[in-house]
Amino acid sequence: MSERSYDLSSIASKSFDFMAKLFKDVGNLLILIVLNVIPIVNFIVLGYYVRVVRADADEPPKVSDFGGLFIEGLKLVILALIYFIVPIILLAVGGGMALIAGWGSPFWGRRFLAPVAFLFLALAVVLFLVILFFALPAFGLYMRTGDFSKAFAFGEAWDIVRRFGLFNYILFFVLLAVFNAIASAIGSIIPWFGAAIVGVFAMAFSFKAISLLVNLKYPVPPLPPPPQTQV
């Protein structure tokens, strides 16, 4: 089990170390990458990282129990849909308007639909970030405990922020946002599969960081010592 940490630099360092340890088992890493390339099947990778948070793993575990991992990932996707349904709708409406603006007349496209589409898309992004800011500790509580109701235990989630410190949590959130933005930019350079490949590493860093944050309230108890054999 990882040590409880109240220090942002320590969380960043341990999360980066965990991500780098993916290279210790290249075969396991390749399995994660291949799974993450395939839509829907990539829920298995999400479930894999959910279990990393649940166990607060110090080393990337072997990929196993594909069915169980898929269910874990599916639960996380459902939870995300519940939380982000409004930004998703705004994104869909804004995207649809942008497409219509591209096909329509110059007047309707450039003077009316395009600005409105931009407004919807910008609002969707802002709302997504605001919801994620408050939801991230609750997501962590769910992943650590396996209790779906913990994803809506806002008092407990706020207690994590309070223990860590609001300013430290803001920096923590910015760290994850910047790291994932850089990872997305790198992934976009690689044709076709770049996002899926880089995503495996980005999730390793992000989920481990969330795991360390949750340790402030729900540290994973150490494993009991092995029984001693009688000589």
Q: Any idea where the domains of the chain sit in the sequence?
A: 8-83+136-214
Give 130-158 pLDDT, tens digit per residue.
999 999 999 999 999 999 999 999 999 99
| Cα angle 61-52-7, degrees, rounded to a multiple of 5 | 120
Q: For residue 2, what pLDDT is reported?
A: 41
Q: How far is CA 108 from CA 90, 98, 119, in A?
A: 20, 11, 15
Distance of CA 38 to the CA centre of its chain: 18
Q: For residue 171, what pLDDT is reported?
A: 95
* DSSP one-letter string for 68-127: HHHHHHHHHHHHHHHHHHHHHHHHHHHHHHHHHHHHS-HIIIIIIIHHHHHHHHHHHHHH
Nearest CA to 45 out of 215, 213, 197 is that of 197
| Residue 11 · residue 24 · CB < 8 Å | no
| Rounded Cα gap, residues 213 and 7, in angstroms | 10
Q: For residue 231, what pLDDT is reported?
A: 46
Let me know how many helices (H) and strands (E) the chain has, helices first: 9, 0
Q: Burial letters for 189-222: b for 16+ Cβ neighbours within 10 Å, e otherwise?
A: eeeeebbbbbbbbbbbbbbbbbbbbbbbbbebee
pLDDT 10s per residue in the chain (231 long)?
444 545 889 999 999 999 999 999 999 999 999 999 999 999 999 999 999 999 999 999 999 999 999 999 999 999 999 999 999 999 998 888 877 776 655 655 566 777 888 898 999 999 999 999 999 999 999 999 999 999 999 999 999 999 999 999 999 999 999 999 999 999 888 877 888 999 999 999 999 999 999 999 888 866 555 556 554
Q: For residue 223, what pLDDT is reported?
A: 54
| Rounded Cα gap, residues 148 and 169, in angstroms | 23
Q: For residue 220, what pLDDT is reported?
A: 81
